[in-house]
Structure 1
Amino acid sequence: MKKPKPEPLDRAGLRQAVIDLLSRRDYSRLELQRKLQPKAASADDLTAVLDDMAERRWQSDERFTDAFLHSRSDRYGPLRLTQELQQKGIADARTAVAALDTDWQERAAQLALRKFSGADLSDIKQKARIYRHLAQRGFNADHIRYALEQLAAAGDPHGSLSDDEISPGWD
Structure 2
Amino acid sequence: MLARREYSRRELQDRLSSPDVDDAEVQGVLDEFEDKGWLSERRFVDAVVQTRRRRFGAARVLHELREKG
Tell me whether the two structures share a fold, i.e. TM-score over 0.5: yes
Identity, % of aligned pairs? 39
TM-score, reference length from structure 1: 0.39
Structure 1 residue 55: Cα displacement: 1.1
Deviations for 1:6-57, whole angstroms, at most 9, x for unmatched residues? Answer: xxxxxxxxxxxxxxx2122110001101111127521111000000001111
Residue 30 of structure 2 corresponds to: 50
Unaligned runs of 5+ in 1: 1-20, 90-171
Change (3 A) 1:62 1:42: same
Residue 74 of structure 1 corresponds to: 54
SS of 2:49 mapped into structure 1: helix
SS of 2:2 mapped into structure 1: helix
Change (3 A) 1:76 1:40: farther
Change (3 A) 1:40 1:75: farther
Task: Tell me the distance in 2 between the aligned counterparts of 1:45 and 1:88.
Answer: 21
> Which one scores higher on RCO, CA 8 angstroms, separation ≥ 6?
2
The CA RMSD measured in Å over matched residues stands at: 1.3
Q: Which amino acid aligns with 1:45?
A: E
Task: Tell me the distance in 2 between the aligned counterparts of 1:75 and 1:42.
Answer: 40
Deviations for 1:78-105, whole angstroms, at most 9, x for unmatched residues? Answer: 111111101111xxxxxxxxxxxxxxxx
Q: Which amino acid aligns with 1:54?
A: E
Pairing partner for 2:2 from 4, 13, 22: 22
SS of 1:23 mapped into structure 2: coil
Task: Tell me the distance in 2 between the aligned counterparts of 1:55 and 1:22.
Answer: 15
Q: Which has the larger radius of gyration?
A: 1
SS of 1:24 mapped into structure 2: coil
- Name segments (4+ residues, structure 1) moved above 6 Å: none
Count of residue pairs brought into register by the alignment = 69
SS of 1:85 mapped into structure 2: helix
